């Protein structure tokens, strides 16, 4: 099984690529916040696991942002 490669994503060349990354980042933030709220109100372990997934997703979004930027610069689309 191959891991995620930002170079395989056609969204990197889309004119609205920053908006795509922004929406992905907001999703990660919402999941992390929901996990924190659940850790306080429901189950500390379950909420912590969900919050951790949100934070890990944010790290993946940061990697994707960097990969998209590198790919766009290589293609001469630096903006």
pTM: 0.82
43: in domain: yes
67 located within any domain = yes
Is residue 23 one of the residues assigned to a domain?
yes
Helix (H) or strand (E) holding 18: helix 17-41
Asked if residue 7 belongs to a domain, the reply is no
Residue 1 has pLDDT above 60, yes or no: no
Give me the number of domains the chain comprises.
1
Closest to 53 measured CA to CA, from 40, 38, 64, 67: 38
Residue 70 tokens, joined:
């590198």
Q: What is the pLDDT of residue 79?
A: 62
Residue 68 and residue 9 in contact, taking contact as beta carbons nearer than 8 Å = yes
> What is the pLDDT at residue 49?
96
In a domain, 21, yes or no: yes
């Amino acid at each position: 099984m191959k891991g995620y490669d930002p170079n395989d994503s056609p969204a990197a060349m889309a004119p609205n690529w920053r908006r795509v990354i922004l929406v992905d980042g907001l999703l990660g933030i919402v999941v992390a916040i929901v996990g924190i709220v659940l850790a306080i109100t429901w189950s500390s372990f379950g909420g912590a696991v969900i919050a951790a997934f949100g934070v890990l997703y944010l790290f993946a979004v940061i990697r994707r942002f960097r990969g998209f930027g590198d790919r766009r610069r290589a293609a001469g689309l630096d903006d």
